């Protein structure tokens, strides 16, 4: 049997300074690999008055990118959307998977009394937060909670060339309190370029006047000294804000331009190519959604809108439980909330 080693022979812990390369700088690549493997979920919702081209846009947005054309084709006669429906597609680009879900909603504004016509939309958005919160608070929660929270709401404005309607103002305001709202001018082919510019300016003024908070947000803190990166970021946001509302045209049909089939509309004045930047801002909208702001919208939904919902729910729950007097040895939120959290 080996004799025990005398204490003096054991090496005391030494403080070693590593001068060689250890490789922790690969952490960014490690994170990237993990994120790529996991993929992203991005959920967009379209909202607006009846007949504004919401369903058409849903079928135009990523049409060119879908290899599988399993997307339901619409019948030749246009049907009104009667309930909230979601369509998901998985798009893959350079090994990055994006699960894109577009939620189509029925147009509002057709009733004699349009009071509370926004309720089903708000309810749907909150239900997704609620489902997420329930899963988050389950004692044995899933490693990755499926994210059905709406990250962007495209709000369709009628191309009247005049002003927003009081109903649009109300609905936009209500939704902007619970999600990222991005206004768009629908059916922009019915306005001339000059009319578009003037209408955009008018909408912007109204949005500001009514205190509607549209995405992307600028939080101006007066005394903060900005770094160069912050300054560039702020300029980009400002540039995009100047472009909003995007003037868009949607189409589910192809038209032939120079022998090439493109998504477009044949009008009395000529052919409109949806993807042509000099015809409309559809491409700017799509780039904004997928290229420049996808991650930020996902993050903002979680850190601003979902966070506000979560806090409100948990505070309400805590109050109701303490009122019930069932608060014996401190709150056990994990088991309580899982069963009690419901859409506000
Ligand atoms: N001129 C023009 N017409 C469009 C455009 N987008 C859609 N339309 C037409 O507008 C009509 C209504 O389009 P939908 O996409 O069904 O409208 P919606 O907003 O889904 O309507 P609801 O489901 O009733 O709310 C159809 O005849 C479309 O072809 C566009 O950009 N320009
Ligand atoms: Mg529709």
Backbone angles phi, psi at 89, to 5 degrees: -135, 145
The more confident residue out of 103 and 5 is: 103
- Beta carbons of 180 and 218 less than 8 angstroms apart: no
Taken in order of first residue, the domains within the chain and their CATH numbers are: 33-218+225-321 (3.40.50.300)
| Minimal-distance CA residue to ligand 1 atom 2 | 187
How far does the chain reach from its first CA to its final CA, in angstroms? 71
| Cα 77 versus chain centre, distance | 30
Find the 60 Cα to ligand 2 centroid distance in Å: 13
Strand partners, 100: 42, 89
Q: Which residues lie below 8 Å from residue 237, measured CB to CB, with a gap of 6+?
A: 216, 218
- pLDDT cut 90: percent of the chain above it: 46
Distance 87 CA to ligand 2 centre (A): 13
Q: Which atom of ligand 1 is nearest to the CA of 251?
A: 6
As a whole number, mean pLDDT of residues 7-36 equals 72
The pLDDT of residue 336 is 46
The answer, yes or no, to whether any atom of ligand 1 lies below 6 A from the CB of 172, is no
Ligand 1 centroid from CA 51, angstroms: 5
d(CA 63, CA 263): 9
Give the CA dihedral 322, 324, 325, 331, nearest 10 degrees: -40
Question: Which of the ligands is closest to the CA of residue 280?
Answer: 1
How big is the chain by its Cα radius of gyration, in Å? 26
For the record, the structure tokens of 87 come out as: 């369509």
53 Cβ below 6 A of ligand 1: yes
What single DSSP character describes residue 10? Answer: S
**What span, in angstroms and rounded, lies between the C-alpha atoms of 294 and 127?**
22
Q: pLDDT tens, 182-231?
A: 999 999 999 999 999 999 999 999 999 999 999 988 766 655 677 777 78
CA dihedral defined by 282, 284, 289, 294, rounded to 10 degrees? 170
Distance 80 CA to ligand 1 centre (A): 9
Q: How far apart are CA 341 and CA 344, in angstroms?
A: 9
Place of tokens 């109204």: 206
User: pLDDT: is 75 or 146 the higher one?
Assistant: 146
Please tell me the number of the ligand nearest to residue 282's CA.
Answer: 1
Ligand 1 centre distance from Cα of residue 250 (Å): 8
Task: Confirm or reject: Cβ of 209 under 6 Å from ligand 1.
Answer: no
Nearest protein Cα to ligand 1, atom 32: 187
**Residue 229 confidence (pLDDT):** 79
The average confidence (pLDDT) of the chain is 83
Higher confidence at residue 145 or residue 19? 145
Atom of ligand 1 nearest to the CA of 52: 19
DSSP string, 197-241: HHHHHHHHHHHHHTT--PSSP----TTPPPPHHHHHHHHHHHHHH
191 lines ligand 1 (CB under 6 A): no
């Amino acid at each position: 049997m080996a004799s025990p080693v005398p204490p003096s022979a054991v090496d005391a812990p030494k403080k070693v300074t590593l001068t060689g390369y250890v490789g922790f700088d690969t952490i960014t690549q490690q994170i990237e690999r993990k994120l790529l493997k996991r993929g992203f979920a991005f959920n967009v919702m379209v909202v607006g008055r009846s007949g504004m081209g919401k369903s058409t846009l849903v079928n135009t947005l990523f049409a060119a990118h879908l290899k599988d054309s399993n997307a339901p084709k619409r019948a030749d006669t246009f049907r009104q959307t009667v309930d909230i429906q979601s369509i998901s597609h998985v798009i893959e680009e350079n090994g990055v998977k994006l699960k894109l879900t577009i939620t189509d909603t029925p147009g509002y504004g057709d009733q004699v009394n349009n009071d509370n016509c926004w309720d089903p939309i708000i309810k749907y958005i909150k239900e997704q937060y609620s489902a997420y919160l329930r899963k988050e608070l389950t004692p044995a929660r899933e490693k990755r909670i499926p994210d059905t929270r709406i990250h962007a709401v495209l709000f369709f404005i009628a191309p009247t060339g005049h002003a927003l309607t009081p109903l649009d103002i109300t609905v936009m305001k209500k939704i902007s309190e619970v999600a990222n709202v991005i206004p768009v001018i629908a059916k922009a082919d019915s306005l001339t370029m000059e009319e578009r510019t003037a209408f955009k300016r008018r909408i912007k003024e109204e949005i500001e006047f009514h205190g509607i908070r549209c995405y992307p947000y600028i939080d101006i803190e007066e005394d903060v000294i900005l770094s160069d990166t912050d300054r560039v970021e702020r300029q980009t946001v400002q540039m995009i804000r100047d472009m909003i509302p995007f003037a868009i045209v949607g189409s589910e049909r192809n038209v032939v331009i120079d022998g090439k089939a493109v998504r477009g509309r044949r009008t009395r004045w000529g052919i409109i190519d949806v993807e042509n930047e000099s015809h409309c801002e559809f491409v700017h909208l799509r780039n904004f959604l997928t290229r420049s702001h996808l991650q930020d919208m996902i993050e903002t939904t979680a850190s601003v809108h979902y966070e506000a919902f979560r806090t409100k729910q948990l505070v309400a729950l805590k109050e109701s439980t303490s009122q019930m007097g069932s608060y014996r040895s401190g709150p056990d939120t994990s088991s309580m909330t899982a069963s009690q959290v419901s859409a506000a």
